[in-house]
Amino acid sequence: MADSVRMRTVYLRPLVIGVFPGRHSLAALLSVVAVCSYSLAGLHRNRWGYFIGIAAAGLWDFGGLFVNNFVMSGLRWLMQWIHSGQLKHLDQIIAIPAFAGNFLVVVGCLWGYARLPQKSVLDSARFLAAFVLSTGFFAVAMALFQPRYLALFRGLLHPHWPEW
């Protein structure tokens, strides 16, 4: 189940690349690289794949719920579309399947990790390393292709830090 959810996410992301041109495409392409890496590791029952999946997908869902209004705005525009029949702000509506997909990735990775026959005390340190590395990967991708969104990381990593 976890592997099929991850692979479906890999197949859907190129649609984003086609719909949103320019720098969004390049950022989405780097996101595909990340999804492929933890999907392939997960297919081989490698705990690193599970840790990266939980860290990356969990970080984005946390951000969408608690740091910015992306998910709520997406819900608002989705409801507007349903009620009026007029599609507006697809760039916001896409937050809903993105949130759901990330949530399923977290659940699938937790399920995959729970099924591993051997767990280690070092897994906590491995998860922390996966979190730091995947967050760094996305920070670099954002710095290169969407620097205006870098301010989100301050809220993602510590929601109570003051705005600079």
- The tens digit of pLDDT for each residue in 77-126 reads 999 999 999 988 888 888 888 888 889 888 988 998 998 989 999 999 99
**How much is the pTM?**
0.74
Residue 164: inside a domain:
no
Three-state SS for 105?
helix
- For 127, the domain range is 2-157
Residue 23: inside a domain:
yes
Please tell me the distance from the alpha carbon of residue 7 to that of residue 40, in angstroms, as a whole number.
9
- The tens digit of pLDDT for each residue in 26-37 reads 555 556 666 666
The pLDDT score that the predictor gives to residue 152 is 80
How many domains does the chain contain in total? 1
Mean pLDDT of the chain: 77
Mean pLDDT calculated for residue range 126-141: 90
pLDDT band at 4 (very low <50, low <70, confident <90, very high): very low
Residue 163: inside a domain:
no
Higher per-residue confidence, 26 vs 74: 74
Q: Which of 74, 142, 140, 144 is nearest to 102 (CA)?
A: 74
Residue 113: inside a domain:
yes
Q: Which helix (H) or strand (E) holds 158?
A: none
- The tens digit of pLDDT for each residue in 10-23 reads 444 444 444 444 44
Who's near 55: CB < 8 A, 6+ residues apart? 127, 130, 131, 134, 135
Residue 59: inside a domain:
yes
Residue 128: inside a domain:
yes
